[in-house]
Amino acid sequence: MFRALAVASVALRPRKAGQVWTMASHQLLVSPPEALRKPLSVPSRLLLGPGPSNLTPRVMAVGSLPLIGLMHKEMFQIMDDIKQGIQYVFQTQNLLTLAVSGSGHSALEAALFNVLEPGDSFLVGANGVWGLRAADIGERIGARVHTMLKDPGGHYTLQEVEEGLSQHKPALLFLTHGESSSGVLQPLDGYGELCHRYKCLLLVDSVASLGGAPIYMDQQEIDILYSGSQKVLNSPPGTSIISFSDKAQSKIYARKTKPCSFYLDMKGLANFWGCEDKPRIYHHTVPIISLYSLRESLATIAEQGLESSWRQHREAAAYLHGRLQALGLQLFVKNPALRLPTITTVAMPAGYDWRDIVSYVMDHFNIEIMGGLGPSVGKVLRIGLLGCNATRENVDRVIEALKEALQRCPRNKL
Ligand SMILES: *Cc1c(COP(=O)(O)O)cnc(C)c1O
Ligand SMILES: *[C@@H]1O[C@H](CO)[C@@H](O)[C@H](O)[C@H]1NC(C)=O
């Protein structure tokens, strides 16, 4: 509903022949919204879902620093610092390493838009929602997509991957390191080498696992690796990080067609991020303030040390798993070696509706946990221990909340 405003008098004056109106010549049909007159109000919550995670005080503080221009030398320095931070968390020497202006999905699209050409064979491990999305994007590009479909909870052995490689001769294989919809940690040792024996590039999604479980881009011969800002890194959503091996870069530079996205075209981005030895040319306005946050997150994890961060997540997850089992709950991933330390999936206890439990924990404890996603909907509850919030105290809080929810929520509803 909107009401028309009084007509501006300037619009009513008769027009003289040849006169050009530079003032408003129409009435405003949409009035200023009442809702925007109220001050912004946001609750403070403990975010223990699969992301986003709570920001650290340090990350919040840099969010209010003054804005500078994207072509200022100080900004280029911040971008260079970020690239070094990414090289550290990915454990890579790749020069084509940068942050993408967009959430985790934009890094996935950046990878696929740049590396795949129409007609390329693309092999996808789809053991949850992320592989299904990679396959969807591959189809939009016009690649020949071959999906190795598995129920959530499954992972891919070297033998299964080798069968896919020899059958489909793909140019690219997609695997998810931390499958956050199912709670599976995909092993990665040997997969890159195997792909390279079959002239295939390896693309890995580490959005949910980076910083919480070991990954070694160069040593594991991963060709394209990406992650997000809002999980273990405790930064605001809206930026993601990506790196390309020399082999992946060669495929991009040998393309016969332009990538179908200008915004995510790696040649333009590589130049703007100073990955080439050439003067930087404006490509698009990067999210400057979000990049301050990303730099601060990378600085925080570099100070803590990757190994210490991995240990923190492993210990917090082990403590959570023990306490969940003591409550009589079952973990969805049976093999402890395949459990993702950052995001735990609990098999949905019989008789409950997952929505009741998630709402109870939110309404009575102000804590976010989540149900499943895509193929795991209705099968699991998901609890995330991400970055600064991967602590025993938070495990105690969420266990107390879950215990009460299990007592109070209706049973045998389903
Ligand atoms: C969260 C997540 C994404 C998607 O990231 P967005 O920032 O929401 O675009 C991709 N992959 C995995 C494994 C994730 O957990
Ligand atoms: C979770 O993280 C937020 C942000 O760092 C922090 O304010 C809060 O104290 C943390 N909660 C606990 C219980 O550690």
Evaluate: CB of 393 within 6 angstroms of ligand 2: yes
Distance set, CA 218 to CA 125, 290, 316 (Å): 21, 27, 28
Q: What is the pLDDT along the chain (414 residues), one digit of tens a residue?
A: 344 444 444 444 555 666 666 677 899 999 999 999 999 999 999 999 999 999 999 999 999 999 999 999 999 999 999 999 999 999 999 999 999 999 999 999 999 999 999 999 999 999 999 999 999 999 999 999 999 999 999 999 999 999 999 999 999 999 999 999 999 999 999 999 999 999 999 999 999 999 999 999 999 999 999 999 999 999 999 999 999 999 999 999 999 999 999 999 999 999 999 999 999 999 999 999 999 999 999 999 999 999 999 999 999 999 999 999 999 999 999 999 999 999 999 999 999 999 999 999 999 999 999 999 999 999 999 999 999 999 999 999 999 999 999 999 999 855
Contacts of 317 (CB under 8 A, 6+ apart): 339, 341, 342, 344, 385, 390
SS (H, E, C) 275-318: CCCCCCCCCCCCCHHHHHHHHHHHHHHHHHCHHHHHHHHHHHHH
**Ligand nearest to the Cα of 396, by number:** 2
- Calculate how far, in angstroms, residue 222's C-alpha sits from the geometric centre of ligand 2: 33
On whether the CB atoms of residues 170 and 350 are closer than 8 A, the answer is: no
- Calculate how far, in angstroms, residue 184's C-alpha sits from the geometric centre of ligand 1: 14
Predicted TM-score (pTM) above 0.85: yes
- Calculate how far, in angstroms, residue 234's C-alpha sits from the geometric centre of ligand 1: 14
Tell the residue nearest (CA) to atom 6 of ligand 1.
104
**Ligand nearest to the Cα of 45, by number:** 2
- Helix 73-90, helix 288-304: angle, nearest 10: 40
Domains parsed from the chain with CATH numbers:
57-304 (3.40.640.10), 306-408 (3.90.1150.10)
- Calculate how far, in angstroms, residue 64's C-alpha sits from the geometric centre of ligand 2: 20
- What is the secondary structure of 228-260 as a DSSP string? ESSSTT---SS-EEEEE-HHHHHHHHT-SS--S
Ligand 1 residue neighbourhood (C-beta within 6 Å): 50-51, 103-105, 130, 176, 178, 180, 205, 207-208, 228, 237
Atom of ligand 1 nearest to the CA of 130: 11
**Annotated binding-site positions for substrate:** 382
Tokens 């189809």, residue located: 139
d(CA 397, CA 375): 28
Q: Which residue out of 112, 132, 136, 180 has the highest number of ligand 1 atoms within 8 Å of its CB and is therefore the one to mutate?
A: 180
Q: Which residues pair with 149 in a beta bridge?
A: 126
Instruction: Give the per-residue pLDDT at 29.
Output: 95
Tell the residue nearest (CA) to atom 11 of ligand 2.
389
Give the length of the chain. 414
Q: How many CB atoms lie within 10 A of CB 137?
A: 20
Instruction: Give the per-residue pLDDT at 378.
Output: 95
On whether the CB atoms of residues 154 and 127 are closer than 8 A, the answer is: yes
